[in-house]
Structure 1
Amino acid sequence: MPGLDISIFLRVHLLKIDPIMNWFQSIFFIKVPWTLNSQENWNRTHRLAAWVFVIAGLILILNAFLQQFWLITVVISCIIVLPVGYSFLLYRKGI
């Protein structure tokens, strides 16, 4: 799965680069109204999302050997729910 390895490599490096300065991260932007409302919310959400993508990638590599369909479903659900939910919680806190 060389494509997955490249994906993890890019996401690890995205952790070190400010989301505004990185043109490649436009693929991974989380554009919900409450992230667009606040720059701080945007930065924190994308910082978390970068870690979620890295961990999800590692789990999916492990799953290549385990071949458990339910694990893929859980990982993809976490990729969607965790950053959006975190962003909403920040919005509710006024960030």
Structure 2
Amino acid sequence: MIPRYIVLLAALAAATPACAQNIASFVVPNDDGYGVDACLESGNACGQPIATEWCVANGYSRAINYRQQTAADITGSIRQPTEIAAAQPHAIVITCEK
């Protein structure tokens, strides 16, 4: 007899949409060389193709979103801000899709 929790886990895994497993967000430092941060700050439309190129260069097919990093993006799993996080106030979050 199979325990109920194993059946429940299998049902949840089957119910998870496949597309959810193909989307990932990345925090990209503002000095990455791609220039997405400069496009966001200037308001130009160049950000989308540059973000897509970043995704393609990292094994994804396209960017579905890009924006400046906010305080809400920091999970709080580290009690004190690190020097790296403090040094990158204009980091970019790029969400990619496979």
**TM-score (structure 2 length as normaliser):** 0.24
Task: Choose 1 or 2 for highest CA Rg.
Answer: 2
**TM-score (structure 1 length as normaliser):** 0.25
